[in-house]
Structure 1
Amino acid sequence: MDLLSVIRRWHYRDRLPIREIERRTHLSRNTIRKYLRSETLEPVFACAVRMSKQDPFAQKLTNWLMLEASKSRKHKRTGRRFHADFVALGYTGSYGRVAAFIRDWKAEQQKVKQTTGRGVFVPLSFQPGEAFQFDWGEDWAVIGGRRIKLQVAHTKLCYSRAFILRAYPLQTHEILFDALTEAFRVLGGVPRRGIFDNMKTAVDRIGQGKARQVNLRFSALVCHYLFEAEFCNPAAGWEKRQIEKTVQDARRQIWQEMPNFPDLTALNAWLETRCLEQWISLRHVELPGNVAAAHAAEMPHLMVPERAFDGFVGHTKRVSPTCLIQFESNRYSVPASFANRPVSLRVYPERLVVAAEGKVLCEHSRIVTRFHGLPGRTGR
């Protein structure tokens, strides 16, 4: 997945020829052309699942290696000794597999020491179109007569300091995709890098140092918009201090003077207008002029996407005998011909699409019941 994203970014954004990509990746030109011609952002590789003889003993070997690491050099067991001990436990593999596992484990430990011992340099200045920062905040608004806590997506260009806010009821994958898509629309394009914290809608697992197991659908969005995703160290908000300050400033400059709204659509339209007004009124902290002038200078350096990312999250549902499917404690109707049959449910921020057999069966407005509101209160 990461290699496909890099190939697309080199070809479509950096304009590298296929010969140069071949030299860098050591892939054949036919394979590179196949990736570039395909519209697929999530490649599926057919491969047989084979169980290694070493898999049942991998965790035990790791534990042994960690125990041996605390011993002096003269008292450590050798690879031959490890292999002999495994054979006594029923291992039927070769010594070479055990030796390779030990080499890989030691290399990983050395890499971790180098990463944690050196520290990370975070640039304080950015070039036009180089990066953007993203973060979530929480604020309250009056929607339909109720005071409701909302999740606010903040996106900011690092060079021009232009920013955009959008409010949502939840923090989910499909809402994150919609927030970034709308942000790129308002900001006029996509920078080369995106700086995020380790939010669960993007990172499935945090590894040692900068190693991250990125969510597959988030990787598809990164591959579509051709930017490089970077994640901050845990509990290191200063690595994206610009957007952290925007979250604080927006609470004082925008949310305190917010009127009542009939729905979220009206609220987000008002937020977009207020952000554009702030670009004009705020002076840039480093460049001459205001934020709007700096944004106009940065616009030619942003990549304008050809189309928006189809940011749905798919689920497989079985239709009940009463022609209903359930999602988030709500039931939605499906044509009677698909009763007791599986269908595909595509979840968007504001609607649900039910599909089967390569066609769309029906659409429903999404009912969100997990608003954090206080009934009966209409003021701040």
Structure 2
Amino acid sequence: MLVVETVAKIRRAYFVQGKGIKEICRELRLSRKVVRKAPRSDETAFSYQRSVQPQPKLGPWTDELDRLLAANVGRSARERVTLTRIFEDLRGLGYEGGYDAVRRYAASWRRRESAVTAAAFVPLSFDPGEAYQFDWSHEIVLIAGATVTIKVAHMRLCHSRMPFVRAYPRETQEMVFDAHDKAFAFFGGACTRGIYDNMKTAVDAIFVGRERAYNRRFQQMCGHYLVEPVACTPASGWEKGQVENQVGTVRQNFFAPRVRVKSLQELNDWLADRCTEWAKARPHPEIADKTIWEVFQEEQANLVPYRGPFDGFHAIPAAVSKTCLVRFDNNKYSVDASAVGRPVEIRAYAQRIELRQEGRIVGEHARAFGRGGTVYDPWHYVPVLARKPGALRNGVPFKDWELPASIQSIRRKLKAAPDGDRQMVRILSAALTDGLPAVEAACAEALEQGVHSADVMLNILARSRDTGPPPTIATPEALRLRRPPVADCARYDSLRRAR
């Protein structure tokens, strides 16, 4: 087969130097048949493609080999076997040929299949404020020296390509609500349409085409922000390709090398600043003379105005144990003692837990994301101490209880008294009715007087509640008598004489 350099030499010798075919054959030591091809055609390169590949031994086995190759492609990436294994399986069925024939046939089979299944896409364009895309990713960071896998919520405005990124410990529904609220507050508004994959926190059922049964709470959130949700076709990530691309971009530019922070809040503050810096430094892919940040600022006028935070909680019922505890997400939280024996509703927010019973809040705590932890509020157990004052000394909720300084001082002094626990319970119980600031002031006054008795403190508290004598009732001017009555005692004398 003539190489390109040899073809060029033949053409120059024939057309430029005027040499004959025989002379060129002698100089280049080529056959006359080969040399004639170059000047007789305008081709500058020649290639040979075999029209028919003889397969004397593999021919009868091509159908079986097609089946083995197709079955292998249909397996997951972890379960796929090598071509050598397929060759061995074919040999086990009776094939007597060599491996090279199988290898060449498998290469041509892959080319045919890729030509059939090759995906083509249509470029998309979005109007300002028309749509955003939402997705999740998993990243690894160092928080307070510990390696933690976090869930990162990604949102991207389709027109300006403005990104928003926020990290969470979970990928649950309340985190989805919080991510939308923080994103819309960051953007200064929402779009009229949101594009999602079929995440379980949003979609309950998938029907034919674009029809979906959305989660009721997710629909409430979309109704609050005036957003129309649109779900992609299952396993079709290219339908929200912008945010899919953002996941890789953020991973390379934000989380590599591994980020080191002290808390999740510090990480989120840094991510928000990083999104702004990245947008200001990147040109817009379609508007070359403007950055992403500049196009975003123009798009803000077309966004749906931000309507304030959505009450984004995930509610589930729960039972209250006799120790005033409720279990949620592998942790326990205390509730008011009055809630024992009846079910409560847990409202889980992204950062806190709210416990309600018959519309009344019976507990509120910062949310814990570990496993097996217990979060106590000692004030929930104060009513129980009225019946069991001895529990104050060894009760788990009261260990390391941070009380105001004056109340803490009286507690230390009462530990030496025989009935110190009972007196302290009376003081703490007063805080439930009079309020902690009033009890703190009464304790401080008692300490100034050099006493720490509960009776003295409660007496001071009672005096602070005494409002003094009732005010006198003044007679309005309209009710004053114009002729005041005059007492006439002589009338009694006349009655006595008549008798």
Per the normalisation by structure 1, the TM-score is: 0.64
Aligned to 1:149: 149
Whole-angstrom CA distance in 1 between matches of 2:124 and 2:132: 13
Per-residue CA deviations over 1:71-101 (Å, capped at 9, x if unaligned) read xxxxxxxxxxxxxxxxxxxxxxxxxxxxxxx
What is the DSSP-based 3-state SS (H/G/I as helix, E as strand, rest coil) of the residue aligned with 1:178?
Answer: helix
Report if aligned partners of 2:166, 2:271 keep a CA contact under 8 Å in 1: yes
Cα displacement string for residues 6-65 of structure 1 (whole angstroms, at most 9, x for unaligned residues): xxxxxxxxxxxxxxxxxxxxxxxxxxxxxxxxxxxxxxxxxxxxxxxxxxxxxxxxxxxx
Aligned position for 1:226: 226
Q: How does 1:20-35 map to 2 (within 5 A)?
A: none
2:339·2:362 contact (CA, 8 Å) conserved in 1?
no
- Paired letter, 2:151: Q
| Aligned counterpart, 1:273 | 273
SS at match of 1:218: helix
Partner of 1:368: 369
Q: What's the CA shift for 1:303?
A: 1.2
- SS, match of residue 304 in structure 2: coil
Deviations 1:83-122 (A, max 9, x none): xxxxxxxxxxxxxxxxxxxxxxxxxxxxxxxxxxxxxx97
Contact kept, 8 Å, 2:185 with 2:306, in 1: the verdict is no
Deviation, 1:305, is 2.5
User: In the alignment, is the contact (CA less than 8 A) between 1:137 and 1:152 conserved in 2?
Assistant: yes
Match in the other structure for 2:243? 243
Matched to 2:309, the amino acid is: A
What residue in structure 1 maps to residue 262 of structure 2?
A: 262
- Kindly indicate whether residue 221 of structure 2 is the aligned counterpart of residue 200 of structure 1: no
Map of 1:333 onto structure 2: 334
For residues 56-205 of structure 1, the aligned pairs below 5 Å read: 124-205=124-205
The CA deviation at 1:318 is 1.9
Partner of 2:406: none
Q: Aligned residue for 2:353?
A: 352
Question: Aligned with 2:190: secondary structure?
Answer: coil
Determine the C-alpha separation between the residues in 2 that align with 1:176 and 1:289. 32
CA distance in 1, matches of 2:222, 2:122: 21
Deviation of 1:362 after TM superposition, in Å, equals: 2.0
Residues in 1 aligned to 2:148 and 2:325: alpha-carbon distance in whole angstroms: 30
Q: Matched residues in 2 for 1:236 and 1:306: separation?
A: 32
Once the two structures are aligned, what percentage of the paired residues are identical? 43
Over the aligned positions, Cα root-mean-square deviation in angstroms equals 1.8
Residue pair 2:143, 2:262 contacting (<8 A) in 1 also:
yes
Q: Which amino acid aligns with 2:246?
A: T
Please give the TM-score of this superposition, normalised by the length of structure 2.
0.49
Once the two structures are superposed, residues 282-309 of structure 1 have per-residue CA deviations (whole angstroms, 9 ceiling, x without a partner) of: 1100113101100011000001233210
User: How far apart, CA to CA, are the structure 2 residues paired with 1:130 and 1:184?
Assistant: 14
Report the secondary structure of 2:305's partner residue. Answer: coil
| CA deviation vs aligned residue, 1:205-237 (integer Å, no higher than 9, x gap) | 111221211111101111111111001001111
Structure 1 residue 366: Cα displacement:
1.1
What's the counterpart of residue 99 of structure 1? none
**Alignment-derived partner of residue 85 in structure 1:** none
Matches within 5 A, 1:35-46: none
- Counterpart residue number, 2:321: 320
**CA-to-aligned-CA distance 1:126-145 (integer Å, 9 cap, x gap):** 00000000011111100111
Aligned to 2:298: 297
SS in 1 for 2:189: coil
Secondary structure at the counterpart of residue 271 of structure 1: helix
246-255 vs 360-369, greater mean Cα deviation: 360-369
* Cα 1:122/1:302, change in 2 over 3 Å: farther
Aligned-partner residue type, residue 150 of structure 2: L
- Per-residue deviation at 1:123? 6.5
Is contact 2:174-2:314 (8 Å) kept?
Answer: yes
CA contact (8 A) 2:190 2:305 kept: yes
Q: CA deviation at 1:258?
A: 5.0
Cα drift, residue 361 of structure 1: 2.0
What letter is aligned with 2:320? V
State how far apart, in whole Å, the 2-side matches of 1:302 and 1:329 are: 40
Partner letter of residue 128 of structure 2? P
Partners in 1 of 2:269 and 2:233 — Cα distance? 34
Shift, 1:365, TM fit: 1.4
Q: Relative contact order (C-alpha < 8 Å, sep 6+): which is higher?
A: 1
Deviation of 1:320 after TM superposition, in Å, equals 1.2
Instruction: Give the Cα–Cα distance (whole angstroms) in 2 for the partners of residues 124 and 161 of structure 1.
Output: 13
Q: CA deviation at 1:338?
A: 1.2
Query: Alignment partner of 1:255: what SS?
Result: coil
SS of the aligned residue for 2:261 comes to: coil
The amino acid of 1:330's aligned partner reads N
Question: CA separation in 1, counterparts of 2:259 and 2:358?
Answer: 46
What letter corresponds to residue 159 of structure 2 in structure 1? Y
Q: Whole-Å Cα distance in 1 between the matches of residues 169 and 307 of structure 2?
A: 29
Alignment match, 1:44: none
Alpha-carbon contact 1:323-1:333 (below 8 Å) kept? yes
Give distance in 1, aligned partners of 2:330 and 2:127.
Answer: 47
Q: CA deviation at 1:148?
A: 1.0
Hey, what's the Cα distance between the residues in 1 that align with 2:206 and 2:138?
A: 24
Equivalent residue for 2:49?
none
Work out the CA distance in 2 between the residues paired with 1:332 and 1:237: 39
Q: What is the one-letter code of the residue matched to 2:338?
A: S
* Letter paired with 1:276: T
Amino acid at match of 2:346: L
The letter of the residue matching 1:195 is I
3-state DSSP class of the match of 2:260?
coil
- The offset of 1:337, in angstroms, is 1.1
Q: Gaps spanning 5+ residues in structure 2: where?
A: 1-120, 372-499
Q: Is the contact made by 2:189 and 2:303 (CA closer than 8 Å) also made in structure 1?
A: yes
Contact kept, 8 Å, 2:188 with 2:306, in 1: the verdict is no
How far off its partner does 1:262 sit? 1.4
